[in-house]
Amino acid sequence: MTYAITQTCCNDATCVAVCPVNCIHPTPDEPDFGRTEMLYIDPRACIDCGACADACPVDAIFPADSLAAGQEEYAAVNAAFYEQRAPRPAPEGGPVFHAWGAPSFPRTLPADFAPLRVAVVGTGPAGMYAAEDLLLHTNAEVTLVDRLPVAGGLVRYGVAPDHPATKRIGDTFARFHTHPRVRMYLGVDVGTDVTAEELAAHHHAVVYAVGAAADRRLGIPGEDLPGSVSATRFVAWYNAHPEVAPDAIDLSGTERVVVVGSGNVALDVARILVADPEALAATDIADHALAALRASAVREVVLLARRGPEDVSCTAPELLALGRLPGVRLVVDDHDPRIRAAVADAAPHEKAALLRDAVYERVDWSAPVPRGPERRIVFRFHSAPEEVLGGAVRVTGGAGPVGIPAGVVLRAVGYRGLPVAGLPFDEETGTVPHRGGRVEGRPGSYVVGWIKRGPSGGIGANRTCAAETVGTLLADAVDGALPAPTGTARAFDRLARGRARHVVDARGLAAIERAERARGEEAGRPRVKLGTVPELVAAARARRRLLR
């Protein structure tokens, strides 16, 4: 028996660190780390110890001979990765041993290294990986700040509800919320409640992990018409983000939704739109979204991709899962001869090969949405949106312009960072200029995550990103380049609580967690999210009332 890594791999390399025989690759020090869509176990070298499965924060690793239905392909997927990497025969039929790299100790801290006080702005994966690094490897005191009255960031509000294993990484982060060297200030907006200068004055360093909250624009006529919505907003809607109203999305009266894009977010929204609502009822999807999907008439989702299937933007695991959805037919619009040719020519390990089992048909967009027992997801490759019209979108490509009727158009062409108060900003890239995470011209200020590198990479990519930023911060501390704080931790506590209307601390966050799980238990669900700021604050304050 060997182990295999499956669809939900988050790429954070926790498994690599615990493997006793170096059989999981690529490792963080290898050139292709971060370029592959997941990590892979070499079945010829695995000794079946299971350490990787125990360590995996998203439950993505299982014995290859007991993979769940729909995951069986991953035994071959793991093995194929090593066959493509200049395969080496096992000596006399024995196991393959991977060479160990030379030991590396990139950080060196002096024995008398004084404790630092570091603020981390943002409690999503990037911020929490940075906090984890500081707490585990230094004696720093960490102040966690978030503008929302609840922690989680992308894990809470970005991961699709039908990916509960991916959300489990939040449990890894949650253990640091109550760390004795952590102070938490949720519901405090840097730039509104406290300034960047005030935050810096009370800390040796500030790490900004604010992500990329905006969406990229299409730049075509009509994209702001009613019914044209960013996928960013749609994802926030079905995840009960408090800044998106329950009635922000209207699915009534439409049988077809067009999604512009073919990345993982595009596949997420397509999957949610055609999923069985009763299956979604077993997740933490927002109550209002579940009700809207139950009443929805949507039967078909069209994914528009500018390029061909050989260049599809989503990851192979997500595309593979799309073809396994119960009650959903995967269709490819056969409007361009290049499409079939690309799929036929694809090597077995290439993503286009995963579309060989799809249904190919020349879709008549002037005809009504097909009726039948199955819903449909239709890929239309080599198609670019030209204009959003009332009730339709006009696309170019293939045989020429065509109008695709649609009640809703979702733009899933990427996220974009927003300017951070008090920091420089590159409008072209939507990021804060930096070197190794150090903000240019702002001593003591650092960035991590999407605001640092742009909206690329999944949750696990933030771990190596955070390691670089924290390494830069510690090097600056050793060099004496960090400004000494003029205010104390107690002074910042008074400042934050005096300025912000509702501050939620770690105990308040725990109360929110209990309240949501209790609501879920009553409804037979894992949790029912509180979807407004007043509800979240009230749940956090309920702890105080109980203690009186």
pLDDT tens, position by position, 77-130: 999 999 887 666 666 666 788 888 888 888 889 999 999 999 999 999 999 999
Interval 475-520: pLDDT, tens: 999 999 999 999 999 999 999 999 999 999 999 999 999 999 999 9
Round the average pLDDT of the chain to a whole number and report it. Answer: 94
pLDDT band of 318, cuts 50, 70, 90: very high
The neighbour count for residue 137, using CB atoms within 10 Å, is 14
Give the per-residue pLDDT at 466: 97
User: Computed from CA positions of residues 431, 435, 440, 445, in that sequence, does the dihedral angle turn out positive or negative?
Assistant: positive
CB 182 within 8 A of CB 119: no
Please state which architecture CATH assigns to domain 220-414. Answer: 3-Layer(bba) Sandwich (3.50)
Is the Cα dihedral 153, 157, 160, 166 positive or negative?
positive
CA-closest candidate to residue 235, choices 390, 19, 386, 411: 411
pLDDT of residue 548: 46
> Thinking of the domain 117-213+417-503, which architecture would CATH place it in?
3-Layer(aba) Sandwich (3.40)
> What CATH number matches the domain at 3-93, 3.40.50.720, 3.40.50.300, 3.30.70.20, 2.60.120.620?
3.30.70.20
Report in angstroms the alpha-carbon separations of 391 from 26, 251, 384.
Answer: 46, 12, 17
* 30 compared with 235, residue with greater pLDDT: 235
Work out the average pLDDT over 437-445.
Answer: 95
507 close to 514: Cβ distance less than 8 angstroms? no
Query: Which residue in the block uniquely carries the two structure tokens 């894990």?
Result: 155
Structural contact between residues 229 and 249, judged by C-beta atoms closer than 8 angstroms: yes
Model confidence at 457, pLDDT cuts 50, 70, 90, reads confident
pLDDT of 362 over the 50 cut: yes
Q: In the chain, where are the structural domains located? A: 3-93, 117-213+417-503, 220-414
Q: Which of 417, 414, 429, 418 is nearest to 230 (CA)?
A: 414
